Amino acid sequence: MRTALLQSSGLPGSVGENLKVLDAAAGRAAAAGAGLLTAPEMFLTGYAIGDDIGRLAEPADGDSAEAIADIASRHGLAIAYGYPERDGETVFNSAQLISAEGDRLANYRKTHLFGDAERGHFTPGEQSLVQARLGGLTVGLMICYDIEFPENARAHALAGTDLLVVPTANMHPFQFVAESMVPVRAWENQMYVAYVNRVGPEGEFEFFGLSVLAGPDGIACTRAGRGEELVVADVDPDLLAASREANPYLRDRRPGLYRALV
């Protein structure tokens, strides 16, 4: 499945403008043959927008979800995106996957919040494993800081995730996560990982970009630079199957020795 990574911060604070950016990117991704477009963490509203997070938060089936479903169906590709999700009085940092037919396939709430800013605005999610079937693959969802906990990615590997989609808002000085950690996560768990970052200055942060689709061989299939960019690469089921056969990490596990982890 050809996968497009939208490295962009859009226009923080403007849902309408960010929907336009997503629509334009979906058109370019579809023209390149992509079956999935992934946007960064909190793409719908912006990340460093303070108390506007609560004002702009929407239900998972809200107006913006309907607008993105329309974008997906018009361009004929699935879309994963980050947004602030309102559920009653509670707000989550969430990511949603919508199919090429406009159906809501999966919604994930970030389980590991990063820093005081996130903890001051969001409630952590309680479901670490969220998956959906898409294009013959099992696709999992995670958000940014979550991938830095190896237990999370391993849980997805054991549950059969083929492609782990990770909308991200990672900033200086943590470039090593995109450069080194994400390819290692893909290798040690024998899956593809799409890590899609914001870029440029926003509030007190400087997002570094470097979005990457890493394969089960630990190699970057494609990697963005440090500016606004749309990159595309293929998730190859045949390579995935061959890599899993050749690399025995999951088969050689000894779970009985790991009880101290829980």
Report the SS3 class of residue 14. Answer: coil
Among 58, 85, 110, 118, the one annotated catalytic: 110
For 204, list phi and psi in degrees, rounded to 5.
-85, 0
Round to whole Å and give the CA distance between 87 and 220. 37
By C-alpha distance, which of 222, 151, 227 is closest to 192?
Answer: 222
Torsion of CA 181, 184, 155, 160, to 10 degrees: 130
By C-alpha distance, which of 186, 171, 182 is closest to 226?
Answer: 171
Is the dihedral angle over the CA atoms 249, 242, 128, 57 positive or is it negative? positive
179 noted as active-site residue: no
Residues 6+ apart with CB under 8 A from 121: 51, 53, 54, 84, 91, 93
Round to whole Å and give the CA distance between 44 and 68. 10
Among 41, 85, 118, 202, the one annotated catalytic: 41
Among 85, 118, 144, 202, the one annotated catalytic: 144
Round to whole Å and give the CA distance between 259 and 262. 6
Asked whether 173 and 197 are in contact (CB, 8 A), the reply is no
Which helix (H) or strand (E) segment holds residue 153: the answer is helix 150-158
144 noted as active-site residue: yes
Asked whether 238 and 1 are in contact (CB, 8 A), the reply is no
- Catalytic machinery residues: 41, 110, 144
